[in-house]
Structure 1
Amino acid sequence: VDPTINASPFDSTPFTFDTQVFLEVLLKGICFPGSANNSGEVESPLPLGKGLNVGQMRLQSDFALARDPRTACTWQEFINEQEKMSAAFRAAMAKLAVVGQDSRNFIDCSEVVPIPKPAVKKPATFPATKTRRDIQQACSLPFPNLATDPGAVETIIP
């Protein structure tokens, strides 16, 4: 991953826990947000911008998971399925939280954990200028019908 850039987001909605990343990882890559040929990174579908709009970083691991025959359909099925994605995320984080730990030694601090914000209900959309033709679909299931954001070029960080 390019160490010369800071805070390059993984999708066009970096401050929202939504399913947009599952769509955008399937888009054809066109550029890197910084320098090319970095280990762990592949071309991103969204171009570089100006100022704080540094473009989008795509992790090689996300690219591979979205296209591997064993995981491609699960990846695609998360698009526009907020509840399904959230449940899978919750289960995975619960497993990761105890790796290498003896859970009998945990202290319950649930009462200080803040109540999460309600889930975002905005459907996934193709970034401006992108369409179904830009998808590199690896799953044989039908692809969801999605709208495209208006505009000439997607702005990552407005």
Structure 2
Amino acid sequence: IMIFSKTETAFHPNIGLDEVVESFRPFQERSGMGVADFIQFSGAVGTSNCPGAPVLNVSIGRVDATRAAPDGLVPEPFHDVDTILARFADAGEFDELETVWFLIAHSVAAQNDIDPTVSHAPFDSTPEIMDGQFFIETQLRGEGFIGKSGIEGVAKSPVRGEFRLQSDELLARDNRTACEWQSFGTDQAKLQNRFQFIFQAMGELGTDPTTLIDCSDVLPTPPDLTTVPHFPAGVRINDVQAACAETPFPTLPTDPGPATAVAAVPR
């Protein structure tokens, strides 16, 4: 996407990534690294700043793309679960559980251009922390839109200031993914382990892993997690739309005080 940015940032699911690409470009050019290696490496470095993140494995030695990717390969927030699972299976033979593992990244993420009226709105109440709050809060009943209503792929949010993708809402409630989804709300060790695995698996797609050079030892160690799984203030267990038939939704404490309002992620 950096090499063929004029083409690929025009694809609908990549809207807004032009700013990210151009902010990365000067650093990539000075680094001497290939573009594919730089994107993977910078993602690992960025994640390492988040409390609760695992120590990631990162390697270099990829061959950069020689032509733009075709349009239509990136799942959209308005896609149904069947479409999303089929795309991940096609991309790397990832199953429904591994698809959920990719979504751990949404624990430290925000939207920008899906609804520009609330740009930088995070997907959970702790966007600076890689924890299970994203998986807890996506199971809460949506109460209203924090920005414009009627935008394709946007679902009602349970907490003021928190943005919800329709695709996340559906995956949290689908019987193929709901139990794995729920498990990450309270099992931080599992969350770290699965994200570590899927980050490496994603980075090795289209490569011969035996030719890559491991440089994980240069990454900083992420800060420890100091929070515990909880409901945001103003939320009760009755607000949960639990969808895992195998395991009851866990009992969680609720933050004290007035109802939580989540601030936009700083630029």
TM-score range (shorter-chain normalised) is: 0.7 to 0.9
Counterpart of 2:204, as a letter, is V
1:90 matched to 2:199? The reply is no
1:42 matched to 2:162? The reply is no
1:109 matched to 2:109? The reply is no
C-alpha offsets along residues 52-82 of structure 1, whole Å, 9 cap, x if unaligned? Answer: xxx0111122111110001101111111110
1:15 matched to 2:120? The reply is no
Distance in 1 between residues matched to 2:167 and 2:211, nearest whole Å: 33
Distance in 1 between residues matched to 2:150 and 2:129, nearest whole Å: 29
Counterpart residue number, 2:228: 123
C-alpha offsets along residues 8-44 of structure 1, whole Å, 9 cap, x if unaligned? Answer: 0111111111111111000011122211122222111
Task: State the Cα distance separating 1:129 from its structure 2 match.
Answer: 1.1
Which of 63, 80, 90 is residue 186 of structure 2 equivalent to? 80
Q: Percent identity?
A: 43
Task: State which drifts further: 132-141 or 1-10.
Answer: 1-10
Task: State the Cα distance separating 1:89 from its structure 2 match.
Answer: 1.2
Distance in 2 between residues matched to 1:63 and 1:79, nearest whole Å: 15
Q: Which runs of 5+ in 2 are unaligned?
A: 1-113
Counterpart residue number, 2:170: 64
Task: State the Cα distance separating 1:83 from its structure 2 match.
Answer: 0.3
Question: Does the residue aligned with 1:4 lie in a helix, a strand or coil?
Answer: helix
Q: TM-score with structure 1 length normalisation?
A: 0.86
Please provide the CA RMSD for this pair.
1.8
1:2 matched to 2:108? The reply is no
Structure 2 vs 1, CA of residues 3 and 103 (structure 1 numbering), >3 Å: closer, same or farther?
Answer: farther
* Greater Rg by CA: 2
Counterpart residue number, 1:100: 206
1:138 matched to 2:243? The reply is yes
Task: State the Cα distance separating 1:106 from its structure 2 match.
Answer: 2.8
Do 2:121 and 2:263's aligned partners in 1 also have CA atoms closer than 8 Å? no
Counterpart of 1:138, as a letter, is A
Question: Does the residue aligned with 1:89 lie in a helix, a strand or coil?
Answer: helix
Q: Which runs of 5+ in 1 are unaligned?
A: 48-54
Counterpart of 1:58, as a letter, is R
Counterpart of 1:79, as a letter, is G
Distance in 2 between residues matched to 1:36 and 1:145, nearest whole Å: 32
Question: Could you say which structure has the greater relative contact order, defined with CA pairs below 8 angstroms and 6 or more residues apart?
Answer: 1
Task: State the Cα distance separating 1:104 from its structure 2 match.
Answer: 4.3
Counterpart residue number, 2:55: none
Distance in 2 between residues matched to 1:136 and 1:97, nearest whole Å: 34
Distance in 2 between residues matched to 1:111 and 1:139, nearest whole Å: 38
The number of equivalent residue pairs is 150
Counterpart residue number, 1:51: none
Task: State which drifts further: 134-143 or 106-115.
Answer: 106-115
Counterpart of 2:219, as a letter, is V
